[in-house]
Structure 1
């Protein structure tokens, strides 16, 4: 899905102050924190492509110019994140976006996606030497949450390509074995 102009963004309403939601850029590249976010958000929907990354690969990725991680916090607790990755020639990919399961359904996702997409459009202002953004895109798939595509569409993203691929079935890893079984019963 993509946007090709800043005016394509249709922002979600910001949560009120009582929600305690704030979004902060993780300015210090931290493989440990980024891997925590990746497993906490994607564990129940089987995000696995980065699980095998060694520490050095995480560090190299996070230290690249134009890679940014923005974290949504609810009253001081990480609730989700959006990761931006410049792909050259004015293209920014939302490489990862989502909420930790316990924070879904609270209207935080629309706000985080709106905020992160706006940051993708002004990324070159924070990274001298980058080409101004001409396109923001996101790859979505059946491993994403059930409301992901609708959220992207409400924020002004349009489908630009569709492919079908088969992948072997794997059990969701979660942030630790059995984490989601416990969370569902809480």
Structure 2
């Protein structure tokens, strides 16, 4: 859900050295959408739920999916905190598979009563543009709305794939809030390699 952070004034705002700023769009749907006809896939896909995933395995997939888009929160999170989330009975973690190949990550968070956050949703680079995203979203919607929820929500940002926002809107989500997030550049701390997310300039003015 959107935060109650202070509203930025119109015009430019300074961002401290070493920090990044990006625009976040929060989207929601308040009822289960009508199912759409399934499109043929280039290869058979399955979705496997992973209960109590090994942190190293989870982070490896998280990195494979999200490094190009500056996903870093779960890499920097202390093990105990991450384990508490992943092992919570109201958090569901799924892996998109093509045979034995891991192609995507889906995480549904039902910890807030009556709601579900599409906490993480993404594909490895090789699977983008092949229909796998639609398959994964259809699965996500079915699993989220199988519970007695009144609201499903997600957020995307300007660091994400350029087609992410349009994809979410086509899936039935509607924007309800815009925010600006300021965070330390994870490539400067070594959390992610410096060459990650080449579309986002390094927040290193000395480079």
TM-score bin (small chain):
0.7 to 0.9
RMSD over aligned Cα atoms: 2.6
Computing the radius of gyration from Cα coordinates, the structure with the larger value is: 2
Shift of 1:134: 0.8
Distance 1:10 1:154, change over 3 A: farther
**What's the TM-score, normalizing by structure 1?**
0.80
1:13 aligns with 2:29: no
Distance 1:145 1:135, change over 3 A: same
**What's the TM-score, normalizing by structure 2?**
0.72
CA contact (8 A) 2:69 2:197 kept: no
1:162 aligns with 2:178: yes
| Higher helix proportion (structure 1 or 2) | 1
1:134 aligns with 2:159: no
Gaps of 5+ in 2: 1-26, 199-207
1:41 to 65, 82, 107: 65
Shift of 1:179: 8.4
| Higher strand proportion (structure 1 or 2) | 2
Number of residue pairs matched by the alignment: 171
1:32-181 pair list within 5 angstroms:
32-123=56-147, 132-171=148-187
Query: For residues 68-124 of structure 1, what are the alpha-carbon distances to aligned partners after superposition, in whole Å with 9 as ceiling and x for unaligned?
Result: 01111123200001100113221110111100112111110111012112111113x
Distance 1:75 1:177, change over 3 A: farther
Gaps of 5+ in 1: 124-131, 182-186
Q: Which residue of 1 aligns with 2:205?
A: none
